[in-house]
Structure 1
Amino acid sequence: MNGEELIETLEDAGLSPYQADAFVTLLGLGSASATQIAKASSVPDARIYDVLRGLEEAEYIETYQQDSLHARAHDPADVLADLRQRANRFETAAEEIEDRWDRPDIDEHRVSIVKRLDTVLAQAEQLIRNAETQVNVGLTIDQYYELEDALECALDRGADVKVCLVPSLDREMELPSTDSFSRTATEVRTRSAPSPFIALIDRSWTCFSPHGRSTNEYGVIVNDMTHTYVFYWYFLTNLWEGYESIYSARNEELPISYVDIRHCLRTIVPLFEDGMQIDVSVNGIETVTGHEISLRGTVTDVTYAGQTQDETYLTSLSHLAGEASFTLETDDGTYTVGGWGAMIEEIEAIQITVERAEKQP
C-alpha cells in the first residue's frame, strides 16, 4: 500500500484529509516541528496547529514544546487496535449485508431471488422437514444426502415424497441404498442428464436453482400456489413421466392414495370404463369457501381432456394436461372433484384414496 492509499484508508477510518496526510508524514519523519510537517505535507501553514491538536485528541500523536511546537507519533499499538476493530466491523457489516441479501424474510415475499444455491438448499431443507402432504424433488446425489434427514421427516409425517435423482456435472451417479430410499421416499426415479435443483412442497412452495454450469448462480424461492403449479408441470414433464421407477413403496392393490388427481385417474378410468363401482375418500378444500372438507362416496363420472380412442387409458401425459375431474356421489349429495388449482369443480382434492372397486351386479 503506497502513501496515497494509506491516507485514503485513514480517511475511511475517520480522519480528515489534512489529519491523514499529516499523520502519514509524521510517521516518515519520526518527530518534527509543526513547520517541518507542514512543509513535508499538503497541510497549509495556517492549519497545521489545528490539525496536530486534532490528531493529539484522537491519540494518534503527542505534541511537545522544543523552542517551537513539535510532534511525534504515539506508540501505534492503540492506533492499530482501533484500525483492526474498524476492519472487523466492516467485515462483519459486509457479511451481514450479504446474509440479508441472500436470506430475505421469505414470509414477506411471494417470490424471492437469492444469490447462492446454499440458500436455496437451506430453505428447501426447512420446508421439506415440515411438509404435510407432498414433496417433489429433483436433485443430485450430494444434494439428496444433504436433504436426507428432512426427506425422512416428511415421509414420517405422512407426506407423499417423489424423488428424481440426476447426475452431477463432474462425476458418475452412485445411487443410495434401497434402505435409504425406504426411509426418505414414496417413489424414486432417475434421469440420465443433469438438471436444475427443484423442490416443491405442499403445493405452495418452490425452491429452484439452475445446474452448476449456468452462467450465473442464483436461486428462486416462491411461496405461491399458482407459480408452484407451473413448476410442478416442469417436474412432471422433465423429471418424472418419462422415467422408470427404481424404487416404490406404493401399494400394488387397493386401497391406494394419491396426491395428484391425474395419477388417480389413471387408476380410476379403466375401472370405471369396465363398469366397476369405485369407492373413494377425498380430503380437500371447498373451492367457494376455502374450508377443508372430507368426503367418502362412489365415482359416478370422470372427465379429462384428450379422451383416448383405444383401450390403453391415459398412458400419455397429454391425455391429462387439460381438465381432469370426477363426480363423487356421497350420502350428503353429489360433488365434482378437481385437482390442484381447481376452479370450476366444487372440491379441490389434496389427497384421494381409492378404497375399493367392485364389479356391479
Structure 2
Amino acid sequence: MDDRTLTDLLRRFGLSDKEVDTYLSLLEHGEAKASTVADAAGVSKRYVYSVSESLAERGFVEVNDHVVPTTIRANPPEEVIERLRADVDAMRPGLAERYSRVERQAEQFEVIKSRVTVLKRVRSLLEDAEAEVTLSLTAGQVPEVSEELADAVDRGVLVLLVVSDADGDLDADDPALSGVANVVRTWGEAMPTLLTVDSAAGVVAPPELLRRSTTDRQAIAFAQEQLAPVIVGSFLGNYWPAATELAVAEPAALPAEYTNFRHTVLQATLRLRAGDPPRVTVAGRRTDDDESVDLVGRVVETRQGMVEPTNNEFPVEHSLVVETDGGEITVGGQGAFVEDVEADLVRIEPDDE
C-alpha cells in the first residue's frame, strides 16, 4: 500500500495530516525521542509531545515519560487495529438505534391503495390499542374487524364507534355489534373511515375505497402523535355529534383505574345515571401553578359529549366535578386548562358512604 492510500485511511479515523505524519514516522523508528520524530515528521518537538498524548489516548502509541529523555513507542499494528475494531463494534448499537429512529420517522405516513390493506392496517392497530380507539367504519366492514374491536373492549380500551352507510334496519341487537364498543352511533350517509388508536396512530380512508372494488382513491396510515389528536378532535367535533346513538355498554366493574381520561368520564357518567355516583382518587397537577396534587372525592357531575344527553360546551370537553372535603373541584384530562386539575391517573371506586 502506498503512503497516500495509507494516509487517507488513517484520516478516516480522525487523524490530522500532522498526526498521520507523526504516527508513520514512529512506525518507521519503532521507539524514538521526540526530537527524532520531530525532525522526521517536519514538526516542532513541542507539537510531537502534544500529538503523542492524543495518539496515546487512541491507542496508537505509548509515551514513556518515566525515562529521560522521554521516548515514544508505536504500538504493534495488530493491537491498534484490534482497538479500532472494538471501538467500531461499540458504536454499532448506538448508530443502529439512531438509524432505526430515522426509518420510523420516514414510515410515519404510508399510502394505501387497496381496501384489503386498509382493513389489514385497521385490524393491526386495533390489536395494539392500549387505552382508546375512535373509529368510523361502514356497516359492511364492521364484521371484518368485530373480533379485534371486542378484544379491545375486553382489555379495558375505550372504543367509540360510528357505523356509517347504515340502513334503518340496523339495531342494537345486531350480532355484528355485540360487545364491539362502549358506545355505538350510526350514520346513514357514507363517511370517511377514520381510525385513531391511543391518540398516536391511525388510518384515514375515503368512503369510495371501501365501497368500490376499483377506484383511484387512496388511504393514509399514520403514526404521528401530533396528527392523531387532530383526527380525534375532528371525529368528536364533526362526525360523532351528527351520528345517532344506537348502543351504550354497561358500566365497567369497579374498582378500575384509567390513564385515559375520556374513559374515566364515560364510566363516571354511566354510574351517575344509574344512581350510583362513584368515588375517585385523582393523581395529577393543578392547572394554575403546575403543582402535583392527589385528591379524593365523590363525583357529583360530569361534562361530556360521548353519550346522550351530552352537556359539554365544546367537543373535546370531558371533565369531572368532584366533591371533596375542601369543596368542589373540576378535573380534566391531558392538556386541561379550564379545569382546576389535570389528571394523569384516576381510580374509580364505589361510594360506600
Task: Please give the TM-score of this superposition, normalised by the length of structure 1.
Answer: 0.49
